[in-house]
Amino acid sequence: MSFLMKNPKCLKRTQVEVRSLIGKKGFLKEYDVQNLTYLKAVIKETFRLQPIAPLLLPRETLQKCKIGGNEVPAKSFVYVNAWEIGRDPQAWENPEEFCPERFIGSRIDYKGQHFELIPFDAGRRICPGMHIGATTVELALANLLYKFNWEMPSGINEKDRDFDVLSGLTTHKKNDLTLVARKVDDYLL
């Protein structure tokens, strides 16, 4: 929600997509999510900029190798920095910018096949809960955007918004995100 609140055009576009798909039926089924192209792009972009775990599980080098010009001895533990990979200017145009459109028409996904986007890790160490985690995020976000209009509390203006994050074992907001949810009447949907 932080990135959507910071980017109202993206929020509006996502809500229009979700509300158009759900329509009057009033709920979203798991199979509906495959048709929410922009919502999926928003989630991918969020995972790119703010991966769940900034440092992935450590790997052990099998032999001496070079990483980024540095010689790494055999049997060394190395960490993959998913946070930095998501902001790599060699992999991403305008890497610090929240731009879900970069994923529209792109085959890049977070399922471990594209190493520029690995919020759930890759290979044998890929998160076993990836599918349920991603599906939960998709369904929860879609339903929140379908039923509610979102805004900042009154008295909070643009410069007061704090979207800073702290990194640890997982990434999380430095300060709580407080929003006002206004339920949309069913007859308006």
> How many CA atoms within 13 Å lie on the side-chain side of 139?
12
Contact of 41 with 49, CB cutoff 8 Å: no
The one-letter code for the residue type at 4 is L
Outline where 35-168 has alpha helix (H): 37-49, 82-85, 130-147
> How many CA atoms within 13 Å lie on the side-chain side of 188?
9
168's tokens = 């640890």
Tell me how far CA of residue 106 lies from CA of 109, 154, 178, in angstroms: 8, 38, 33
Tell me how far CA of residue 80 lies from CA of 3, 49, 118, in angstroms: 24, 15, 10
22 phi/psi in degrees, rounded to 5:
-75, -40
10 is in an annotated binding site: no
Known binding residues for heme? 127
Known binding residues? 127
